[in-house]
Amino acid sequence: MAKKTVASLHEGSKDGRSYTKVIKMVKSPKTGSYIFDEQMVPNEEVQNFFKK
């Protein structure tokens, strides 16, 4: 049996590539320690996420 590569299984679906996982370090107002804000945002909105 021939093995299929993983890339060939996702030929038709390209929706996952239109989003980027972004991580921003934010200071918590309650404790004063830093927390990480992780979100999946569309590629066009990445710059706007970091401007906030």
Q: Where in the chain are the domains?
A: 13-46
Question: According to the model, what pLDDT value does residue 31 have?
Answer: 94
pLDDT in tens, 18-48: 999 999 999 999 999 999 999 999 999 999 9
Pick from 47, 43, 27: which is nearest to 35 by CA? 27
CA distance 29 to 46: 24
- Higher per-residue pLDDT: 16 or 25: 25
Q: Between the CA atoms of 7, 9, 11 and 17, what dihedral angle is there, to the nearest 10 degrees?
A: -60
Q: What is the DSSP letter of 52?
A: -
